[in-house]
A and B are shown apart, each in its own frame.
Chain A
Amino acid sequence: MVTYSGRVDDDGDAVFKALADPTRRFLLDRLFERDGRTLTELETELDMTRFGVMKHLKVLEEAGLVVTRRSGREKLHYLNPVPIRLIHDRWIDKFTERRVSALVDLKKELEEPP
């Protein structure tokens, strides 16, 4: 069982909220294709003002899904997949495990002599 602290909250609220927007998912997909991009590069991929793109990137950064690093005079944006992994540990694993164990129980029950 993993516990969370700080900005990585218990149920991953910030991550779910960040992922709930198509523009932000689009930005993550672009970074997945090629990581370490500047705001200017990302902006050219979207029909949106620079300010609008900045706002979306800020939400992604606050959710920990995007990490920025300075390289000389440039600020580069990197996809950080770790929060998605934590959501996976917290939500996906749990439910797939239960479904599997339910099937195992069913099998046991059916195979046991009456």
Chain B
Amino acid sequence: MTSTTQDPAAAQVATTQVYQIFVKATPEAIWDAITKPEFTARYFYGARVETTAEVGGPFRYHAADGQSLWGDERVLESDAPRRLVTTWRSLYDEEAAQEPASRVSWEIEPQGEEYCKLTVVHDQLERSPKTARSVYGPGWMFVLSGLKTVLETGQSLT
């Protein structure tokens, strides 16, 4: 068995990325945290979401400055408060914004009374390597640990 030093740039960035976290909150609270701007503003790099969470409807992220859009997407599937699937483009990055849309699925599974398992699957990234790199690892981890902190403590991570 050999141990090699990991260079993130050298590693092949996954075209299906999975992130999972346990959150002490109800499925409804987590659903609100994903679909309501007053919540996303506190953990999604200040961005405010705009959506009715209805299939075919818009799913936009308004940048913190209120001027630009970080995401101008569509809702693909919606089953409140369990599952929300949207398209994804990284509009905040000029080069990544040119790539085809990928897909983000939010899955909320209650684990008993107290808490839920929240899984984010970002896939269909085969033709969007720049997008894959821009969201990989720290990007989604920051969002998920921020969402957890907001719901559990009422405080923002930063």
Interchain CB contact under 8 A, A34 and B20: no
Report the number of A-B residue pairs with Cβ-Cβ less than 8 Å.
Answer: 87
* Chain B residues positioned under 8 Å from A47 (CB to CB): 1
Q: Is the CB of A46 within 8 A of B1?
A: yes
Kindly supply a per-residue 1/0 record for chain B positions 1-33, scoring 1 wherever the CB is within 8 Å of any chain A CB and 0 otherwise: 101101000011010111111111000000000
Binds A, one of B51-59, B74-82, B111-119: B111-119
A5 CB contacts on chain B under 8 angstroms: 22-24, 114-115, 152
Which listed residue (A6, A25, A32, A36) contacts B114, Cβ 8 A?
A: A6
Q: Mark B124-158, 1 if CB is under 8 A from A, else 0.
A: 00000000000001100110110011001101010
A3 touches B141 (CB 8 A): no
B interface residues, tally (CB under 8 Å): 33
Neighbouring A residues of B91 by C-beta, 8 Å = none
CA distance A64 to B11 in the complex (A): 22
| Interface positions of A from 24 to 53, Cβ below 8 Å from B | 25-26, 29, 32-36, 46-47
Q: How far is the CA of A93 from the CA of B85 in the complex (A)?
A: 33
Residues of chain B within 8 A (CB-CB) of A26 are: 1, 3
Q: Which residues of B contact A89 (CB under 8 A)?
A: 145, 157
Say yes or no: B12 contacts A34, CB within 8 Å.
yes
On whether A67 and B22 interact (CB within 8 A), knowing A6-B114, A85-B141, the answer reads no
| Chain A residues positioned under 8 Å from B3 (CB to CB) | 22, 25-26, 29
A-side contacts of B114, CB under 8 Å:
5-6
How long is the Cα–Cα vector from A6 to B23 in the complex, in angstroms?
A: 8
Q: Given A3, A23, A32, A81, which contacts B11 in the complex, CB threshold below 8 Å?
A: A32
For A33, list chain B residues within 8 Å (CB). Answer: 6, 11-12
What is the chain A residue whose CB lies nearest that of B116? Answer: A6
Q: Using CB atoms, name the residue of chain B closest to A80.
A: B20
Judged by a CB distance under 8 angstroms, whether A110 is at the interface is no
- A-B CB contact pairs (8 Å), 17 listed: A2-B149, A2-B152, A3-B152, A4-B22, A5-B114, A7-B22, A22-B1, A26-B1, A29-B4, A35-B16, A35-B18, A64-B22, A67-B20, A81-B19, A82-B20, A82-B145, A86-B21
CB < 8 Å neighbour of B20 from A1, A35, A36, A64: A64
Please pick, from A8, A34, A85, the residue contacting B14 in the complex, using a CB distance under 8 A.
A34
